[in-house]
Amino acid sequence: MEGITSFFLRAKHWQVFALVWGAYFIAQMAIVASLPEGPIEKPLKVGLLLEAVMLPSVACLMGWLWSMGSFLFSISEPSLKLNIHVFRFAVIFPTLYLLTALPFFLSTSTPEAIILPLHLPALFCLIYVFYFDSRSLVTAEKGEGATSNDYVLPMLLLFFSPIGVWLIQPRINLLYTRSDARSTSQNVVMPD
């Protein structure tokens, strides 16, 4: 996991964009090409195929958000840190939901009473992940607490990540470079 996190923190904005949104567009093309023209006879089989095709895109997006949040948490001042356990749950729950719910949506036998109680918490968790990452980003950059006016723009940029990745990732790269330089300079032993 450390290698994946390190990659996402060092990656350029175009690399993250290509991974997340390139995988998404390729998945969409594969989905359109593989769907039958007529009615779907086996919705569970089609749903599982669609889930498998969307797996790389979802994994890359959530991996990027996880890496960003974990890193920003680690460099924030202890008194300004948000709850990392809630953040981790908020990343894992919608990821699992996104990777397992589609077959239920395609199945006509699944009542909405099962889908809705899972969909709303997944949506809330995803919004919390955007909140955590954006607030932690501003807090790490400023070195002090952030007001809602400070982190609302980064939060919107994360929500619209096809645009936001171009503006957020360079800020992450800068913080990562500074953090890496600080840790390197602290590990250097001065000769006597």
* Domain edges within the chain: 2-177
CB-CB neighbours of 169 under 10 Å: 22
Which residue's entry shows tokens 């955007």?
130
If pLDDT is split at 50, 70 and 90, which confidence band does 28 have? Answer: confident
The mean per-residue pLDDT over the stretch 11-22 comes to: 91
Give yes or no for residue 24 having a pLDDT over 90: no
* Residue whose C-alpha is closest to residue 29's, from 54, 59, 60, 46: 54
Which residue's entry shows tokens 């950059």?
141
Give yes or no for residue 110 having a pLDDT over 50: yes
pLDDT value, residue 135: 93
pLDDT tens digits, 112-156: 666 778 888 999 999 999 999 999 999 999 888 888 888 899 999
Q: Is 61 exposed, middle or buried (CB count within 10 Å of its CB: 0-12, 13-18, 19+)? A: buried
Higher pLDDT, 24 or 165: 165
The mean per-residue pLDDT over the stretch 174-189 comes to: 74
pLDDT tens digits, 54-105: 888 888 999 999 999 999 999 988 888 889 999 999 999 998 888 777 666 6
CB 132 within 8 A of CB 82: yes
pLDDT value, residue 146: 81
Higher pLDDT, 115 or 3: 3
Give yes or no for residue 180 having a pLDDT over 80: no
Whether pTM exceeds 0.85? no
Give yes or no for residue 51 having a pLDDT over 70: yes
If pLDDT is split at 50, 70 and 90, which confidence band does 192 have? Answer: very low
Tokens of 104: 């239920």
If pLDDT is split at 50, 70 and 90, which confidence band does 109 have? Answer: low
